[in-house]
Amino acid sequence: MHIHAYEKLWLALSIVLILALIGTVTYGAVGPGVAMVADTQQTVDSGALDEDERFSEPRVEQVGENEYEAYVVAYQFAFEPSPIVVPANSTVTLHVTSRDVIHGFEVVGTNANTMIVPGEVSEITVETDEPAEYGIVCNEYCGAGHHVMEGKLHVVSQSEFENRGGDSA
């Protein structure tokens, strides 16, 4: 079979492109550690979040040297706590669940974005950099007040976080 030289070039470049795309995704996972939202979380009773030890009191708590866990409840039509206050240059795991219907949780302008399904806990771990203030929007239509459903994520300096530690806990 005769294959034109250009065709060979085209085939070679196509293979290079495929390998490069796979390589990019591999690099993303291995280098910066990009991860997906897993479905391995234990389920919760969305009707009884008040009795759930994690979600009865939406909050941010320190669990390690520089590690924090945030427990966030979404409902028609807000997020709690608001604002979610976390320290800069730390690792924060957000556990987000819904009290009523499906909501979205998108920290605007960032890669933190997940669906919130009642009964399920969406867990995403992010690394914060400099102090910043982000908006959070619900990006799943959830009812008449969907368009006003918003939250805040405040990344504050370590010292500021410690100062306000008393009231956020």
Which residue, 99 or 103, has its beta carbon nearer to Cu ion? 103
Does 167 engage in binding with another protein (CB under 8 A)?
Answer: no
Query: CA 169, 103, 89, 40 torsion: positive or negative?
Result: positive
With contacts defined by CB under 5 A, name the span among 30-38, 41-49, 84-92, 145-153 that binds Cu ion. 145-153
CA distance 158 to 44: 32
Residue 37 CB-half CA count within 13 A: 17
Interface residues for another protein in 10-39 (CB under 8 A)?
10, 13, 17, 20-21, 24, 28, 32-37
Which residue, 54 or 100, has its beta carbon nearer to another protein? 54
Residue type at 127? E
Q: For residues 93 and 125, is the Cβ–Cβ distance under 8 A?
A: yes
Residues lying near another protein in the complex (CB under 8 A): 1-6, 9-10, 13, 17, 20-21, 24, 28, 32-37, 91, 93, 107, 109-112, 123-129, 132, 134
